[in-house]
C-alpha cells in the first residue's frame, strides 16, 4: 500500500524525516527548507529554514540528537538546533569549499557529518568545543570531480563517496579529537584520516556518473547506482568482488538496502525497483508498482477520437504515467525500521509528491513482488 | 608601446593543459590489432552466407575505446556490411542468440550506423534498433550515450 502526500506542484529535491517520523523536512527546489508536522492525515507547516542564498541540495535530520543539517549550492552548510522556544537556531559550518555543496549525511553516531561538494572535496565536520562551532577536515586526494553522494559505514569511521569522475571510493574519516581508534574491518585495518581504503570504477566501458552509494547494513558490501543504468555491489568480505547488473531500465538516482540482501532503488523510471544480491551476482527483483493501464473510458465520442487524431496524431491524449509518481524520483529515505530491515520507505519526486511505500501490505497485494 | 603588442602568437598556446587540477582520463591502451584477425574471418563468413555467425564474431571481437580513427571507420564499415547482410526475418533470431554485452555493443554500432547513412541503410538499421530495443530496453540506449569508450 502506498500513502501519497501532496505538497503542491513544485519539485521536491530532497527530504528527511525526524526521529519520531512525525515531522518532515523538505526543500522544493528553492533556497528554503520547510518543516511539516503530521496532524491526523494532514501536514501542517511548523517551520521554515531560510538562511541559504541558493538552492538547497541536501537535508539530513539526525534522529537521536534532533539536529538538522542542510547544505546548498551557495557553498555553505548550516546545522539547525531546536531551542526551548521551539525555534530552529542555525549555526554556520565552516566548510572551506569554493564550489557548491552537493550532499550531506550525519554519521551513525551523529557526532560528525560529511559534506560532498563540487570542489572535489569531502568535508568531514565535527563540533570543536573550544571554538564552539563546527569545523571541517578535508578529504581531497584522489578525487577528480564532483562528489554526488555519500554514505556512512556503521562503524562511524568509513564513508563511501560516489563521484562524477565515474568512481566510487571508500575513505576513512577518523577524527582523533572526537572518537577512539577503530578496529579493523573487511575494508582494511589502517584508517588514518582521509586514507583511501578502496576505489571502484563504475564501468569498464569508462562512463556513468555515480548517482547513489549505500553500505549494506553490516557494512561488508557497498552498492552503487551509475548513470549507465547499472547497479553494482562490491563485497569486501568476498575479496572485493564487484557484481554489476546492467539493467534494461533508465538510470536510478537513489538506493538503499531494505533487507540484508535486497536493495530498493528508484530514479528516472518513476517507480522503485528491488534488486536481489546473491553470492556472485545482482539480479533484478521487481517493480514496486504494477503498470496500471487505464481501461479506455467509453466516454470518448467518435468526434473526439478524430479530433485527437487530427491534432495529435494519436487516439487519446495520454500524458499521465501509469504509476503513482509522475516524474523521476529524487531520493529514497527509510521511514519505518532501519537499513536491512525496512518496513516502510518514502520517495520524493519532481512531481511534488512524497509517497510512503509499505512493504508488508505491498507484498500482500502484489503477487510478483520479490523482496 | 612595445614592438610585439600586435603579435598574437602567444594566443595559440593552450595554458590550461598545464593546470595541475585538470581531469586526467584513465589511459587504458587498447590494442587495435585485436580487430584485425576478425576481419578476414568475418568476410569469409559473409561470403559463405553465414551472416548471423559473422555478427556474433564481430560483436565479441569488437574493442571499445580505440583512439585510431581509421581503425574505427574500418570496423564500422565491416559492421554495416554484416548488419545489412542479415535479412529482416533473421534479425529476431540473431538478437536472441546474443548475450547482454554483445547487445550493448550492437546498439552502439546501430547508432554509429545512423550517423553515416548510405542509401537504404537507415531503414534497415531502424528495424535492427526496434528488435534490439524490445530485448535490451532503454538501458542499452542509455549506455550508448554514457559509455566513454565508444565503438
For the cut 80, the answer to whether the pLDDT of residue B55 exceeds it is yes
Nearest chain B residue to A247 by CA distance is B139
Cβ of B149 within 8 Å of Cβ of A227? The answer is no
Say yes or no: A284 contacts chain B, CB-CB below 8 A.
no
For the cut 80, the answer to whether the pLDDT of residue B33 exceeds it is no
Q: Which residues of B88-108 are buried (b: 16+ CB within 10 A; e: fewer)?
A: eeebeebbeebeeebbbbbbb
For the cut 60, the answer to whether the pLDDT of residue B64 exceeds it is yes
Query: Which of A120, A201, A229 lies at the smallest CB-CB distance from B142?
Result: A229
B62, B132, B133, B146: best to mutate for the A interface, most A CBs within 10 A: B146
Residue A261: what pLDDT? Answer: 93
pLDDT range class, residue B26, cuts 50, 70, 90: low
Residues in chain A: 371
CB-CB neighbors (< 8 A) of B65 in chain A: 205-206
Residue A13: what pLDDT? Answer: 94
CA proximity to A162, closest of A96, A230, A218: A230
A123 to chain B, closest Cα gap in Å: 18
**How many CB atoms are located within 10 Å of the residue A22 CB?**
12
For the cut 60, the answer to whether the pLDDT of residue B149 exceeds it is yes
CA proximity to A125, closest of A87, A61, A177: A177
CA angle (A145 as vertex; A142, A151 as ends), nearest 5? 75
CA proximity to A100, closest of A70, A132, A128: A70
Alpha carbon distance A61, A156 (integer Å): 16
Residue B113: what pLDDT? Answer: 93
Higher pLDDT, B27 or A124: A124
A67 to chain B, closest Cα gap in Å: 36
Residue A116: what pLDDT? Answer: 96
Cβ of B28 within 8 Å of Cβ of A208? The answer is no
CA A311 to chain centre: 41
Q: What is the mean pLDDT of residues B84-99?
A: 90
Query: Which of B23, B24, B100 lies at the smallest CB-CB distance from A246?
Result: B100
B148 to chain A, closest Cα gap in Å: 5
B59, B62, B142: best to mutate for the A interface, most A CBs within 10 A: B142
pLDDT in tens, B100-117: 999 999 999 999 999 988
Alpha carbon distance A230, A249 (integer Å): 9
CB-CB neighbors (< 8 A) of A201 in chain B: 26
For the cut 60, the answer to whether the pLDDT of residue B2 exceeds it is yes
Residue A301: what pLDDT? Answer: 72
Whether A264 and A258 have beta carbons less than 8 Å apart is answered as yes
Report ipTM for this prediction.
Answer: 0.85
Whether A336 and A360 have beta carbons less than 8 Å apart is answered as no
B141 to chain A, closest Cα gap in Å: 9
And the C-alpha cell for A246? Answer: 546492467
Query: Which of A209, A248, A251 lies at the smallest CB-CB distance from B136?
Result: A248
Alpha carbon distance B116, B111 (integer Å): 9
Residue A298: what pLDDT? Answer: 53
Angle between helices B69-85 and B121-146 (to 10 degrees): 130
B24, B107, B143, B151: best to mutate for the A interface, most A CBs within 10 A: B143
pLDDT, mean over chain B: 84
Say yes or no: A145 contacts chain B, CB-CB below 8 A.
yes
Say yes or no: A289 contacts chain B, CB-CB below 8 A.
no
Name residue A338's beta-bridge partners.
A341
Residue A251 buriedness (CB in 10 A; 0-12 / 13-18 / 19+): buried
For the cut 60, the answer to whether the pLDDT of residue B49 exceeds it is yes
Residue A133: what pLDDT? Answer: 92
pLDDT in tens, A288-309: 888 766 555 555 677 777 777 7
Name residue A351's beta-bridge partners.
none
Handedness of CA A243, A244, A248, A251 (dihedral sign): positive
Whether B80 and B113 have beta carbons less than 8 Å apart is answered as yes
Residue A170: what pLDDT? Answer: 96
Say yes or no: A203 contacts chain B, CB-CB below 8 A.
yes
The rounded average pLDDT for each run of 10 residues, N- to C-terminus, in chain A (371 residues) is 89 95 94 92 90 96 95 96 92 94 96 95 93 92 93 95 95 91 90 93 89 95 95 93 94 95 94 93 89 59 76 72 91 93 94 93 79 75
pLDDT range class, residue B59, cuts 50, 70, 90: confident
Residue B65: what pLDDT? Answer: 81
Say yes or no: B64 contacts chain A, CB-CB below 8 A.
yes
CA angle (A84 as vertex; A80, A87 as ends), nearest 5? 45
Amino acid at each position: 500500500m502506498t500513502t501519497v502526500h501532496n505538497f503542491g506542484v513544485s519539485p521536491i529535491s530532497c527530504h528527511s524525516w525526524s526521529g519520531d517520523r512525525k515531522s518532515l523536512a523538505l526543500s522544493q527546489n528553492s533556497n528554503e527548507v520547510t518543516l511539516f508536522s503530521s496532524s491526523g492525515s494532514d501536514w501542517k507547516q511548523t517551520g521554515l529554514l531560510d538562511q541559504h542564498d541558493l538552492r538547497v541540495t541536501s537535508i539530513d535530520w539526525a534522529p537521536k540528537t534532533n539536529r538538522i543539517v542542510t547544505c546548498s549550492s551557495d557553498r555553505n552548510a548550516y546545522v539547525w538546533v531546536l531551542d526551548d522556544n521551539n525555534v530552529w537556531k542555525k549555526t554556520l559550518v565552516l566548510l572551506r569549499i569554493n564550489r557548491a555543496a552537493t550532499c550531506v549525511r550525519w554519521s551513525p553516531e551523529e557526532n560528525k557529518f560529511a559534506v560532498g561538494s563540487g570542489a572535489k572535496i569531502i568535508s568531514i565536520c565535527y563540533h570543536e568545543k573550544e571554538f564552539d562551532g563546527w569545523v571541517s577536515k578535508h578529504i581531497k586526494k584522489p578525487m577528480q570531480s564532483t562528489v554526488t553522494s555519500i554514505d556512512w559505514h556503521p562503524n562511524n569511521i568509513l564513508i563511501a563517496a560516489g563521484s562524477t569522475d565515474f568512481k566510487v571510493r571508500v575513505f576513512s574519516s577518523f577524527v582523533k579529537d572526537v572518537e577512539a581508534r577503530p578496529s579493523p574491518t573487511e575494508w582494511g585495518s589502517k584508517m588514518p584520516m582521509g586514507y583511501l581504503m578502496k576505489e571502484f570504477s563504475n564501468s569498464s566501458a569508462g562512463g556513468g556518473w555515480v548517482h547513489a552509494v549505500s553500505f549494506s547494513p553490516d557494512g561488508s558490501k557497498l552498492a552503487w547506482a551509475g548513470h549507465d543504468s547499472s547497479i553494482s555491489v562490491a563485497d569486501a568480505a568476498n575479496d572485493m568482488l564487484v557484481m554489476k547488473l546492467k539493467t534494461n531500465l533508465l538510470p536510478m538516482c537513489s538506493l538503499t538496502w531494505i533487507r540484508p540482501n535486497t536493495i530498493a532503488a528508484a530514479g528516472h523510471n518513476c517507480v522503485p525497483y528491488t534488486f536481489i544480491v546473491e553470492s556472485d551476482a545482482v539480479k533484478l527483483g521487481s517493480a514496486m508498482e504494477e503498470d496500471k493501464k487505464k481501461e479506455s473510458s467509453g466516454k470518448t465520442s467518435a468526434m473526439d477520437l478524430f479530433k485527437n487524431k487530427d491534432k495529435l496524431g494519436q487516439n487519446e491524449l495520454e500524458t499521465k504515467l501509469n504509476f503513482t509518481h509522475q516524474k523521476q524520483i529524487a531520493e529514497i529515505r527509510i521511514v519505518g525500521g532501519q537499513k536491512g530491515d525496512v518496513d516502510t520507505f518514502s520517495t520524493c519526486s519532481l512531481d511534488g509528491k512524497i509517497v510512503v511505500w509499505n512493504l508488508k501490505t505491498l507484498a500482500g497485494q502484489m503477487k510478483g513482488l520479490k523482496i | 608601446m612595445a614592438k610585439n603588442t600586435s603579435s598574437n602568437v602567444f594566443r595559440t598556446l593552450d595554458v590550461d593543459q598545464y593546470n595541475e587540477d585538470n581531469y586526467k582520463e584513465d589511459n587504458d591502451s587498447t590494442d587495435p590489432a585485436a580487430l584485425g584477425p576478425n576481419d578476414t574471418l568475418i568476410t569469409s563468413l559473409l561470403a559463405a552466407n553465414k551472416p548471423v555467425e559473422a555478427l556474433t564474431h564481430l560483436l565479441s571481437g569488437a574493442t571499445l575505446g580505440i583512439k585510431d580513427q581509421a581503425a574505427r571507420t574500418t570496423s564500422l564499415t565491416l559492421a554495416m556490411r554484416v548488419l545489412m547482410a542479415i535479412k529482416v526475418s533473421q534479425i529476431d533470431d540473431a538478437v536472441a542468440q546474443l548475450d547482454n554485452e554483445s547487445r550493448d555493443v550492437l546498439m552502439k554500432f546501430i547508432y554509429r550506423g545512423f550517423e553515416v547513412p548510405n542509401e537504404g541503410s537507415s531503414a534497415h538499421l531502424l528495424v535492427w534498433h526496434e528488435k534490439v530495443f524490445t530485448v535490451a530496453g532503454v538501458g542499452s540506449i542509455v549506455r550508448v550515450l554514457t559509455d566513454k569508450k565508444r565503438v
